[in-house]
Structure 1
Amino acid sequence: MVQAYVLVQTEVGRAGDLAELIRGIDGVREADDVTGPYDVIVRAQADDIDALGRLVVARIQRLDGIARTLTCPIVQI
C-alpha cells in the first residue's frame, strides 16, 4: 500500500467545491481546502506507486478547475 499527500492548486474561488469533489474519489482518504500556496491538500492511497499515479493523473488532475498538483509519497521507515 502506498500513501501520499497531493498538494493541489485550483482556479480562484474553486477550492471548497473541488475539495468536496475530490473527497468522493475512490482512494482519497481526506481532502481539505487550506490557505497558503496550495488550495487543497489530499491524502490518498493506492496499491502501488503506479496506481497512485493513475489516481492523481486520471482522476484528480482531470477535474475542471485544477491548475496544478504536486504528489508527495509518504515514506514508511
Structure 2
Amino acid sequence: MVQAYILIQTNVGKARDVAAKVAEIDGVSLSEDVTGPYDVIARIEAEDVNALGSLVIAKIQDTPGVSRTLTCTIVHV
C-alpha cells in the first residue's frame, strides 16, 4: 500500500467545493480546506505507485476547480 498527501491549489473561491468533491473519490481518506500556499490537503492511499499516479492524474487533477497539485509520498524511515 502506498500513501501520500496531495497539496492542491484551487481557483479562487473554490477550496470548499474542491475539498468536498475530492473527499468523495475512492482512495481519499481525508480532504480538508486549509490556509497557506495550498487550498486543500488530501490524504490518499493506493495499491502501488502506478495506481497512486492514476488516482492523482485521472481523478484529483480532473476535479473542477483544481489548478495544480503536489504529491508528497509518505515514507517510513
Q: TM-score range by the shorter chain?
A: over 0.9
- The aligned counterpart of 1:63 is 63
In structure 2, runs of 5+ residues without a counterpart are none
Runs of 4+ in 1 over 6 A off after TM superposition: none
In structure 1, runs of 5+ residues without a counterpart are none
Percent of aligned positions that are identical: 58
**Matched position secondary structure for 1:54:** helix
Aligned mates of 2:3, 2:60 — CA distance in 1: 15
1:13 is matched by which residue type in structure 2?
A: G
Q: Does 1:38 align with 2:35?
A: no
2:48 is matched by which residue type in structure 1?
A: D
Aligned mates of 2:69, 2:60 — CA distance in 1: 9
Superposition RMSD in Å: 0.5
Displacement of 1:48 in angstroms is 0.4
> How many residues are matched?
77
